[in-house]
Amino acid sequence: MRLEDQNASFRYNQIGLRKFLGDLECEIMELVWKLAQPTVTVRDVFNALRKEREIAYTTVMTTMVRLSEKGLLKIVDKIGLANCYMPEYDREEFINTAVNMILEIFTSQFPKESQEFLDQMQAKLARKQARKK
């Protein structure tokens, strides 16, 4: 999901980061965030992924190139022919930006419904805090 892409999709029926990224994109980004010190290569990600499942090197390479085109990874160096990648955002920064973008869409396109929902959430939180006292 390009954070600034008007054509990006939000998959409401998925869990966690899969709401914003495809399944393999999500797995790769999780590994990049985990392995990058500060950079990571396709080989690094491929070696970690193939411990969990059967996957082709070219599939990982293509997906990382696409993540780079989407602005989630940046190519910062080369080791021989291999690109070294860094995440454009850390995990928390990506989540915050993506959630803010989704909330902006809902509050601007459905202001009344969004406000009603936020009011309900605030009331629930107030009741929860009152029970703790």
User: At residue 57, does pLDDT exceed 80?
Assistant: yes
User: In a 3-state reduction of DSSP, which class is residue 126?
Assistant: helix
Q: Which residues contact 57 (CB under 8 A, 6 or more apart)?
A: 42, 43, 46
Q: Give the whole-angstrom CA distance, residue 99 versus residue 129.
A: 25
pLDDT value at position 44? Answer: 96
What is the value of pTM for the model shown? Answer: 0.82
The mean per-residue pLDDT over the stretch 40-58 comes to: 96
User: At residue 5, does pLDDT exceed 70?
Assistant: no
User: At residue 67, does pLDDT exceed 70?
Assistant: yes
Q: Which token pair is 50?
A: 């193939």
What structural domains does the chain harbor? 1-133 (1.10.10.10)
User: At residue 3, does pLDDT exceed 60?
Assistant: no
User: At residue 2, does pLDDT exceed 80?
Assistant: no
Q: Which residues contact 31 (CB under 8 A, 6 or more apart)?
A: 40, 44, 45, 48, 49
